[in-house]
Amino acid sequence: MGKPTGFLEYKRENPTKRDPFERTKSWQEFQILMPEKQLRQQGARCMDCGVPFCQTGTTMVGSGEIGCPVYNLIPEWNDLVYRGKWKEALERLHKTNNFPEFTGRVCPAPCEGSCTLAINDKAVTIKSMEFHIVERGFQEGWIVANPPKTRTGKKVAIVGSGPAGLAAAAQLNKAGHLVTVFEREDRIGGLLTYGIPDVKLANHVVQRRIKLLEEEGILFQTGTEIGKDLTAHQLEKEYDAVILCTGATKPRDVELEGRELEGIHFAMDFLTANTKSLLNSQFEDQSFIHAGNKNVIVIGGGDTGTDCITTSVRHGAKSITQFDINRMKLDERPSNNPWPLFPIVHQADDGHKEAKAVYGEDPRAYQLMTTKFVGNELGQVKEIHTIDVETEIDANGKKTRQPIPGSEKVWPADLVFLAVGFTGPEQQLLEQMSIQTDRRTNIKAEYGSYQTNIEGIFAAGDNRRGQSLVVWAIHEGREAARECDRYLMGASNLP
């Protein structure tokens, strides 16, 4: 640690972002690069804390997550930034994370919740530092293609080009294998491309990394759905190993009166069509669900629901409300969520701040359960009926919702987006490949080995662990690559 008293001398400074109201007028990213002096001071806040919980990367069963899932060497690169050694900091960062430009933008930063300084002060700006290190690397031209010097002759197929698939591909290519990534969409990136609004993770940022991976020798094949355009049998015959990184793409539905009405959509259908139209034609093709001048209701209080807010604001929605069935979180950690667990506290995300700037109030409404949808004579949704609920949790962690009599309410609604999670991976390909699944319909493959019941076929990411974070997908993709390499070669030097 370069400055032992840094955490005493400097206060946390969050990254500068463009004004919430002004930035809703475009689809451009809005985080502004900080001056180097300021960044070095922020790096100096990182403590010589003995046990860096920030980089622990573990899950406590029944409690939550601690630290960075990819085991970023956070104290090391914070110290290097403080001392002005940016290139060395970048090298440390790339040792554990193939794509810090992605996580530096969209990760919720569990590392910061586990920062030792966060016990009684504001955490070190770890996520912001990660973002600035990798962007400095691209600006300086330090990040270039580095293809392997030799090839093993082994061929590996990766099914799915989201963060898990790309991480697995990058690692296996480093080991010298011939890697082909199959993607059924028209662009590479999976969730990174079509699941996250361009304002949060711009497509040119994703494509910048894809270009490097191509230069390093990875083959990308878009518009190819395994199980349909190319059979599972053909895949197994042509390749020495396969890693399934297809994600958890089956959205959870709601069984309510009026669900069939026009204007009720899954959140991902809305987000995907929006980004595709933006990238294809700057919306000129009109091939998207337009929220302009409509009363928008988002059902679901998570990140996907907030992404619907971010998008609807830019469409010019008449009003936006986000339903959350849970109570509003506390400003401070509750007693059952102690440090160093990921903090479960109330906070306003960028989308919430934008909606408040445009409409004058936070768009979230809490403790609401939808009871039915009501439509007009044309079969279009016109209103949502709700009732307030109290959530009760028993000793086994099971939740029950108790309606509060007399709290019924009717909300005007022209568009409804369902953002209540996902139920697992699509089953058609898994059935064709005879892949076993668990009780939640996720692929059955043990954490650490990632081997399915079929020899030579591995699984990583959301299709194995369920809906999760981009950083966990990268972690699993890297680990599955190591196990795949071990399977092919008998041993592996991959981390």
Share of the chain above pLDDT 90, in %: 94
398-452 tens-digit pLDDT:
889 999 999 999 999 999 999 999 999 999 999 999 999 999 999 999 999 999 9
How high is the pLDDT of residue 399? 87
374's tokens? 């009501």
Residues 255, 435: contact at Cβ < 8 Å?
no
133-145: per-residue pLDDT in tens? Answer: 999 999 999 999 9
Mean of pLDDT values over 223-252: 96
H or E element that contains 103 = helix 100-106
Strands 295-299 and 415-418: parallel
What is d(CA 181, CA 158) in angstroms, rounded to the nearest whole number? 5
Span 272-286, pLDDT tens digits:
999 999 999 999 999
325-363, pLDDT tens digit by residue? 999 999 999 998 999 999 999 999 999 999 999 999 999
Residue 457, H or E segment: strand 457-459
157-201 residue pLDDT tens: 999 999 999 999 999 999 999 999 999 999 999 999 999 999 999
Round to whole Å and give the CA distance between 257 and 254: 9
Residues 396 and 62: their CA atoms lie apart, in Å, by 10
pLDDT tier at 323, thresholds 50, 70, 90? very high
Closest CA to 240 of 489, 492, 495: 489
Query: Which structure tokens are listed for 133?
Result: 């290190």
Global pTM exceeds 0.85: yes
Main-chain dihedrals φ then ψ at residue 410, nearest 5 degrees? -115, 130
Residue 1's pLDDT is 65
Note the residue count of the chain.
495
What is the C-alpha to C-alpha distance for residues 453 and 247, in angstroms, rounded to an integer? 18
Q: 2 pLDDT exceeds 90?
A: no
Lookup: tokens for 424: 């697992």
| pLDDT mean over 146-161 | 98
Please name the amino acid found at residue 205. V
Question: Average pLDDT, stretch 22-35?
Answer: 95
Q: Which domains does the chain have, with CATH numbers?
A: 6-140 (1.10.1060.10), 155-249+423-489 (3.50.50.60), 264-418 (3.50.50.60)
Identify the pLDDT of residue 291.
98
Express as a percent the part of the chain with pLDDT over 70.
Answer: 99
Distances (CA, A) of 204 to 117, 124, 219, 312, 324: 35, 28, 19, 22, 33
Cα–Cα–Cα angle for 48, 54, 58, rounded to 5 degrees: 140
Integer CA distances (angstroms), 68 to 28, 89, 163, 377, 477, in order: 28, 17, 16, 52, 15
Q: How far apart are the first and last CA of the chain?
A: 25
| Per-residue pLDDT tens digits for 44-64 | 999 888 899 999 888 876 678
Half-sphere exposure of 245 (CA within 13 A, CB side): 37
